Chain A
Amino acid sequence: MSPVFLNTLEVILNGLMAGVMYSLVALGFVLIYKASGIFNYAQGVMALFAALTLVGLQTGQVPFSHLINAIFGTEVHHFGWELPALVAIVLTLGVMVIFAILVERLVLRHLVGQEPIILFMATIGLAYFMEGFGDLMWGSDIKKLDVGLPSGGSFWLEDVTRGWAAEGADYYGMYIDLLDVWAAIVATILVVSLTLFSQYTKTGRALRAVADDHQAALSVGIDLRTIWVITWAIAGFVALVAGVMWGAKSGVQFSLSLIALKALPVLMLGGFTSIPGAIVGGLIIGVGEKLFEYAIGPMLGGATENWFAYVLALLFLVFRPQGLFGEKIIERV
Chain B
Amino acid sequence: MKFTKVTALAAAAILSAAPAMADLVFPSLSYRTGPYAANGIPFADGYADYFTLLNERDGGIGGVKIKLIECETGYNTQKGVECYEATKGEGALLYQPLSTGITYQLIPKATSDGIPLHTMGYGRTSAANGKVFPWVFNYPGTYWDAASIIIEHLLDENGGSLKGKKIALLYHNSAYGKEPIRTLEELSKKHGFELMLLPVDHPGQEQKSQWLQIRRARPDNVIMWGWGVMNQVAIQEAVNIRYPMDHFIGVWWSGSENDVKPAGEGADGYKAVTFHNVGANYPIFDDLKKYVIDAGKAAGAGDQVGTVLYNRGLYAAMLAAEAARTAQKIHGVKQITAAMMRDGMEALQVDQARMAELGLPNFGPEIHVTCANHGGPGLGAIQQWDAKAGQWKLITDFMPADREVVDRLIEEDSMAYAKEAGITPRDCK
Q: B32: which A residues are within 8 A, CB to CB?
A: 140
CA distance in complex: A253, B239 (Å)? 19
Q: Are B201 and A305 in contact (CB under 8 A)?
A: yes
Of A217-225, A290-298, A317-325, the one touching chain B: A290-298
CA distance in complex: A17, B240 (Å)? 15
Partner of B206, one of A18, A143, A175: A18
**Shortest distance from the beta carbon of B217 to any chain A beta carbon, whole Å:** 10
Q: Are B212 and A175 in contact (CB under 8 A)?
A: yes
Q: Are A251 and B261 in contact (CB under 8 A)?
A: yes
The A-contacting residues of B in range 264-303, CB under 8 angstroms, are 264, 266, 296, 301, 303
- How many chain B residues touch A (CB < 8 A): the figure is 42
Q: B34: which A residues are within 8 A, CB to CB?
A: 254
CA distance in complex: A11, B261 (Å)? 29
Contact flags A152-172 to B (C-beta < 8 A → 1, else 0): 110000000000000000001
Known contacts A249-B233, A249-B236; A142/B38 CB under 8 A? yes
Q: Is B197 an interface residue (CB 8 A)?
A: yes
Contact flags A37-78 to B (C-beta < 8 A → 1, else 0): 000000000000000000000000000001001000100010
Q: Is B198 an interface residue (CB 8 A)?
A: yes
Q: B35: which A residues are within 8 A, CB to CB?
A: 253-255, 258
Q: Are B33 and A132 in contact (CB under 8 A)?
A: yes
Known contacts A141-B258, A258-B35; A250/B197 CB under 8 A? no
Partner of B33, one of A77, A135, A253, A302: A135
Q: Is B215 an interface residue (CB 8 A)?
A: yes
Q: B424: which A residues are within 8 A, CB to CB?
A: none
CA distance in complex: A111, B341 (Å)? 56
Q: Are A250 and B205 in contact (CB under 8 A)?
A: yes
Q: B203: which A residues are within 8 A, CB to CB?
A: 255, 258
Q: Are A303 and B232 in contact (CB under 8 A)?
A: no
Question: Count the A-B residue pairs with Cβ separation under 8 angstroms: how many?
Answer: 109
Known contacts A18-B206, A152-B242; A142/B198 CB under 8 A? no
- How many chain A residues touch B (CB < 8 A): the figure is 45
Q: Is B425 an interface residue (CB 8 A)?
A: no
Q: Are A253 and B200 in contact (CB under 8 A)?
A: no
Q: A262: which B residues are within 8 A, CB to CB?
A: 205-206
Q: Is B352 an interface residue (CB 8 A)?
A: no
**Shortest distance from the beta carbon of A262 to any chain B beta carbon, whole Å:** 7
Partner of B199, one of A69, A146, A172, A303: A303
Q: Is A205 an interface residue (CB 8 A)?
A: no
CA distance in complex: A11, B212 (Å)? 8
Q: A306: which B residues are within 8 A, CB to CB?
A: 201
Q: Are B229 and A255 in contact (CB under 8 A)?
A: yes
Q: B233: which A residues are within 8 A, CB to CB?
A: 249-250
Q: Are B212 and A251 in contact (CB under 8 A)?
A: no
Q: Is B349 an interface residue (CB 8 A)?
A: no
Q: Output the nearest chain A residue to B259 by Cβ-Cβ distance.
A: A142
Q: Are A303 and B241 in contact (CB under 8 A)?
A: no
19 residue pairs A–B, Cβ–Cβ below 8 Å: A10-B212, A73-B296, A132-B33, A142-B261, A151-B240, A172-B215, A172-B218, A249-B233, A250-B229, A250-B236, A253-B38, A254-B35, A254-B36, A255-B35, A255-B205, A255-B228, A255-B229, A303-B199, A303-B201
| Extra contacts besides A69-B301, A141-B41 (8): CB < 8 Å | A18-B206, A140-B41, A142-B232, A144-B264, A152-B239, A152-B240, A250-B205, A293-B209
